[in-house]
Amino acid sequence: MPLVVRATVRMRAADGGHKSGVIERPSGIIDPMEIGPAEWLREGCSVLAPSLESHDFRLGEPKTGNGSGGRFAEVRWTRGEQYLELPFRYALGLVTYGWDGEAFSHADYMRWRQVRGQYPGYSTDPIDGFRHLAADLNGAAAQLLSMTKSEFVEVASAIRSLPPPGLP
């Protein structure tokens, strides 16, 4: 179910009095920061939940802050010492997979696999990045959700040995 912004407004009427009303707009046509990053992150995580929970990943508590680029939120899905880190500012940011001291980005994993995924994609809807990531996690990146620690370490090592990415 798409997020709907609902606001009660009070305006001065031409006769000097006031009028109140409710404005509703679907999330896809608003400025993403009209809603806080934590709320967007929460809705985005609900898109990822079926894929991640079916592999025993659990959603952690979101962290929020205000940096030089504005408000942000981030959260980790964890399974033991393995994690998937999701930052959100105006859209889903750089997705990182980690296990103990090893970590790599979703983009580097897909580059190592030599496949093009749907994430990050391009959209005006802040939740589409989560939809694109879910499609990758159910497709070309599905192995990430079930690999063993030794497999993860091997993949991380292979990714480190790749040449730096060039421009698209």
Distances (CA, A) of 129 to 18, 22, 118, 155: 41, 29, 9, 24
Of the pLDDT bands very low, low, confident and very high (cuts 50, 70, 90), residue 8 is very low
Lowest mean pLDDT among 48-52, 106-110, 164-168: 164-168
Q: Would you kindly state where each structural domain of the chain is located, as residue ranges?
A: 1-30, 31-160
Mean pLDDT of 56-69: 93
* Amino acid (1-letter code) at residue 147: M
Q: Is 111 helix (H, G, I), strand (E, B) or coil?
A: helix
Query: DSSP assignment of 15-79, as one string?
Result: TSSEEEEEEEEEGGGS-GGGS-HHHHHHHHHHHHHHHHHTTT-EE---EEEEETTEEEEEEEEEE
Q: Which residue has the higher pLDDT, 19 or 167?
A: 167
Q: What is the pTM of this model?
A: 0.78
Mean pLDDT of 96-102: 96
Of the pLDDT bands very low, low, confident and very high (cuts 50, 70, 90), residue 107 is very high
Q: Which residue has the higher pLDDT, 14 or 132?
A: 132
